[in-house]
Amino acid sequence: MFLVGEEFVQSTHGKLGCITCHGGENVVDKESAHAGMEPYPSQDFQVSCGNCHAGESELFETSTHYTLSGMANGLLEFTNFSQLSDSPHHEDVFQNDCYKCHATCGDCHVSRAKNYSNGLIDQHNFLATPKMDESCYACHNARNAGEFMGLVGFSGDVHFSNGMTCMDCHPISNFHGTGELVYNMWEDELPSCLDCHEDKDPNVASDTMHSVHGDSLACQVCHAQAGNNCFECHLDEKEDGSGLGSSSESRIMFRVGYNPEITEERPYKYVVLRHVPAQTTMLEVVADDLMPNFNEKTNWKYSPTHNVQKSTFQNESCNACHDNTRIWLSEKDLRPTDSEANKRLIPELPPSLGR
């Protein structure tokens, strides 16, 4: 009853029987019944889930949650290779550390992610809409989901306080994919503040605070709070020989700087930045000189912080932002292990609206 409740037995998935998904044999003897059993059938979701949900499975093969394309390409940007298969060392790092964070259907709809607390969410019942605190938080706890729920940083997001969940803003394509491979999450159809707050578009806003800034500021510059930043990542072989494990230092900080990559979707001059833990020596446990392009790419990145509030310390007045040197990225924020490219993100002060 701990694993399978009566409600599940009567459900559509329960009526299929255990061996339909898990394999094994439908016999009384336990050892014989469990022979060949697959405890995580959605690892092969194309077969186990795709038999009934072919459309969703086909899309999911290209999703960033499954491919972790953002992590793979982020790693490649520090190298001289165009794909992981060109470098056995980098592919080994990705498969033995990074890819362990990928999700399958069961990790959201039935059980908790294995890198969180594992185990079934609700006695094997399948949840059409995953629970935010059991699924989203399981993988995104240190940053976005943790900040959104107020479990990381100083206080949660105003939208969470008003009963909203991740799915209220993120379309299902952000989870299931679109059928098209993307370079990273930024190529997904991501939500925008203006989807709901159309009257705050600088082109039509009636209040000075929104109209005067044009597209110079990302919304989070004024409305986000301090978030989790990670530094000094190290990879080491696990003592049990099961692969690589990473460790890093974290700090709650709020820094604003120049946009690392201005695009049509994100044309802002100033954005909230978040430090990612990459450093040039972090892969030395595998081999030497695996990040030759490290100083060409920033390790302070554009941050879509998820701890929005209407009123923050930096939007109390013009001076609270323009004269507040503590919130602007500066040379003293850069560590010896940081990329040289970060220096181009340091803004001239006081900040100006001109490009």
- Between 29-43, 185-199, 242-256, the lowest mean confidence (pLDDT) is in 242-256
Residue carrying the six token digits 């209220």: 168
Reported as a pLDDT band with limits 50, 70 and 90, residue 262 is: very high
Token pair in block for residue 252:
């709650």
| Cβ 225 vs Cβ 160: under 8 Å | no
- Between 69-83, 110-124, 158-172, 294-308, the lowest mean confidence (pLDDT) is in 110-124
Say if residue 213's pLDDT is above 80: yes
Reported as a pLDDT band with limits 50, 70 and 90, residue 99 is: confident
Q: Which residues contact 198 (CB under 8 A, 6 or more apart)?
A: 204
* Higher-confidence position of 299 and 119: 299
Give the pLDDT confidence of 32-91 residue by residue, as tens digits: 999 999 999 999 999 999 999 999 999 999 999 999 999 999 999 999 999 999 999 999
Say if residue 354's pLDDT is above 70: no
Q: What is the pLDDT of residue 116?
A: 74
b/e per residue 273-291 (b: at least 16 CB within 10 A): bbbbbbbbbbbeebeeebb
Could you say which DSSP state residue 132 is in?
I
Measured CA distances, 243 to 34, 239, 246, 321 (Å):
27, 9, 10, 45
| Cβ 222 vs Cβ 312: under 8 Å | yes
Could you say which DSSP state residue 127 is in?
P
Phi, psi (deg, nearest 5) at residue 229: -125, 140
Say if residue 1's pLDDT is above 80: no
Reported as a pLDDT band with limits 50, 70 and 90, residue 2 is: low
Closest CA relative to residue 300, chosen from 339, 348, 251, 248: 339
Token pair in block for residue 185:
């999450």
Reported as a pLDDT band with limits 50, 70 and 90, residue 355 is: very low
Token pair in block for residue 197:
């707050």
Residue ranges with strand state E in 172-243: 227-237
Secondary-structure percent of the chain, ordered helix, strand, coil, rounded to 5: 35, 10, 50
Q: How far apart are CA 93 and CA 278, in angstroms?
A: 13
167-172 mean pLDDT: 95
- The pTM of this model reads 0.90
Q: What is the pLDDT of residue 269?
A: 95
Q: What is the pLDDT of residue 353?
A: 59
Q: What percent of the chain has pLDDT over 90?
A: 78
Number of Cβ within a 10 Å radius of residue 176 = 21
Q: What percent of the chain has pLDDT over 70?
A: 98
Say if residue 157's pLDDT is above 90: yes
Q: How far apart are CA 145 and CA 135, in angstroms?
A: 10
